[in-house]
Amino acid sequence: MVAKAEQKVVGATTAKKRYFGLSMPILVSMCVIVLAAAYTGALSADLPGTFALMFVIGIIFKEIGDRIPIWNTYIGGGIVLAYLGTAALVYYNLIPQQYVDSIDLITGDMDFLTFFIAMLITGSILGLNRQLLIKSIVRYLPAILGGVAGAAILGILGGLIIGISPSDALISYVLPVMGGGNGAGAIPLSQMYERVTGNPSAEYYTFAIAILTIANIFAIIAGGILNKLGESKKGLTGNKTNLMRNTAEIEEKEEKASLSMKDYGGAMALGLSFYAMGRLFGEYLLPTVGGIAIHSFAYMIVFVALANALGLIPNDIRQASQGMQSFFTKTMVIIIMVGVGVDTDLGELFAAITFGNVLMALLVVIGAIFGSAVVGWLVGFYPIDSAVTAGLCMANRGGSGDIAVLGASDRMGLISYAQLSSRLGGGIVLVIGSLIFGLLL
């Protein structure tokens, strides 16, 4: 017994000395080699070279951020520092331009973020109990609308405090923040503005994206705070993979499968096939429903949910999909955060920081939190998880913002709900926006 106890202590001590699974000498050697190759220009700017640099930057910031007091508890820890730290490196020209361009290529044109999200959606939905999945998705729309209503109420009140009319508060602050991000929100809203007013769309977009960027930072910080609140108030949150309260009567125990590498390969192929099906419907067969554009991820979520609800996916592949999700969540997420950081213009953010803009963005985010939490509670959700997904994942910069918020709140298992907020929720806000533009402008 004594020997076993000593082994446990030694094992625990050894684990504490590991950083991203590596010993300190190996980690330091790896970082020195990659950084030396990059700053001498020897490192290639292709996929392996760029991934190596992104991993090293991400690991350094993550390990530092996870150990900074207050930051690691309330701000989101290493995940958020990887995002903001990388943005600072780019802003001060501390990353050679060829690698900035190659990172942009991987996360932009090659869209590694989409691949990442597709794997997370597949694993998170296939990992849910079938009855729980159906019940939670049906109740999710009211939670989204609660977040939008809360954001509108506090946005209008904030506007009255600093001398902004209710119509300007809605048009200039609430709609851009709650619109589902940049491509799905700010850009189409600016096009609506141009059609209604005749003024250039850039006039609206420039201001909207600045406010959205400020709100995105607040949403990420709020995710970290809500996670800490959930740790101290256990009754306000679930197991970080589902939203529903009182699920004991529908939970089912699943036999643990013995998985092979082929199962993981099949899980990846399945996830990519679901993504292809989503694209087929979203881009070709049924791009709009009732005049509303439906994003391919929204279709993908529906199809994966149906496959799970109907029991079409074998148990071993479902568990392998969950394993793939866990791998991407715990390891590849830092590559995503580095890529998002490279794409973030801190100069644009600094220029938009005024007292009025910061206050309005903060109030809209707080309104989204409380509105979605209250309505989420009323429909049977845990308020913290509802606030994170139906609230904060509406008030950020879309897909990349979802990853940052879920990372800060330690709730990557809720990615499917986050994507419903960004995609379907964003579409709903566009419909609301078209009505508001028509009535108020």
Query: Of 111, 131, 146, which one is at a domain's C-terminal end?
Result: 111
Query: Count of alpha carbons within 13 Å of 92, Cβ hemisphere only?
Result: 6
Q: From CA 356, how far away is CA 333, in angstroms rounded?
A: 33
Range of the domain at 164: 113-245+257-440
Q: Tell me, what DSSP letter sits at residue 21?
A: T
Distance between CA 67 and CA 81 in Å, rounded?
11
Query: Nearest-5° angle of CA 151, CA 355, CA 347?
Result: 95
- Do both 80 and 196 map to the same domain? no
Verify that 99 and 175 share a domain, yes or no.
Answer: no
Residues 166 and 220 in one domain: yes
**What burial class does residue 141 get, using C-beta atoms within 10 Å of its C-beta: 0-12 exposed, 13-18 middle, 19+ buried?**
middle
Secondary structure of residue 219 in the 3-state scheme: helix
Cβ(215)–Cβ(396) under 8 Å?
yes
Residue 224 pLDDT: 93
Are 52 and 187 in the same domain? no
Cα dihedral 330, 334, 340, 346 sign: positive
Summarised one tens digit per residue, pLDDT across range 236-281 is: 998 888 898 876 555 555 667 688 899 999 999 999 999 999 999 9
DSSP sequence for 144-191 = HHHHHHHHHHHHHHHHHHHT--HHHHIIIIIHHHHSSSIIIIIHHHHH
| 203 and 55 together in one domain | no
* 199 in the same domain as 137: yes
Segment 165-215, tens digit of pLDDT: 999 999 999 999 998 777 667 878 888 888 788 888 878 888 888 899 899
φ/ψ of residue 395, rounded to 5: -100, 30
Which residue ranges in the chain fall short of pLDDT 50?
A: 1-3, 5-6, 9-15
End position of a domain, from candidates 111, 143, 159: 111
Q: Looking at the domain assignment, is residue 12 inside a domain?
A: no
Judge if 100 and 229 occupy the same domain. Answer: no
Q: For residue 9, what pLDDT is reported?
A: 47
Q: Are 394 and 365 in contact (CB under 8 A)?
A: no
> What helix, strand, coil percent values describe the chain, rounded to 5?
75, 0, 20
- Using alpha carbons, select from 256, 214, 241 the residue that is nearest to residue 364: 214
What's the pLDDT tens digit per position in 223-240? 999 999 999 999 999 888
Whether residue 213 is found in the same domain as residue 69: no
**38 with 156, same domain?**
no
| Site of tokens 């729309």 | 141
DSSP state of 22: E
Q: How many domains does the chain have?
A: 2
Indicate the residue among 63, 91, 111 that finishes a domain: 111
Asked whether the beta carbons of 115 and 269 are under 8 A apart, the reply is no
Please name which of 433, 423, 392 lies closest in space to residue 180, comparing C-alpha atoms: 423
- In terms of domains, do 100 and 163 share one? no
Residues 309 and 383 in one domain: yes
Residues 411 and 349 in one domain: yes
Domain presence at residue 96: yes
